[in-house]
Amino acid sequence: MAIKRSGVEEARRSLPALLEQASRGQPSLVTKHGRDYAAIVPPHYLEGRKGGPSLTSLRGSGKGLWGRSVKRAIERIRQEWE
């Protein structure tokens, strides 16, 4: 089934119908100046989604990047700019 596309004004006027379609599992795209702008989707489309990887998962991933001493590496960089 093709996803229904509506311009912003048309979507504004027919929002209740678009929401009803979404509740029945049919997504809709809202366009602005011919480009996809927003989506009205059923809630199950968003279940289990996260914004992206957690920054805490990157902790320690740069170990050794600056050599043995981060402090000395920063001092060397600062001296280059003096």
Domains of the chain by residue range: 1-45
* pLDDT of 30 above 80: yes
* 2-38 CB burial, b ≥16 within 10 A, e <16: eebebeeeebeeeeeebeebbeeebebbbeeeeeeee
* pLDDT of 70 above 90: no
Share of the chain above pLDDT 90, in %: 48
pLDDT of residue 1: 67
> What is 1-45's CATH number?
3.40.1620.10
pTM: 0.57
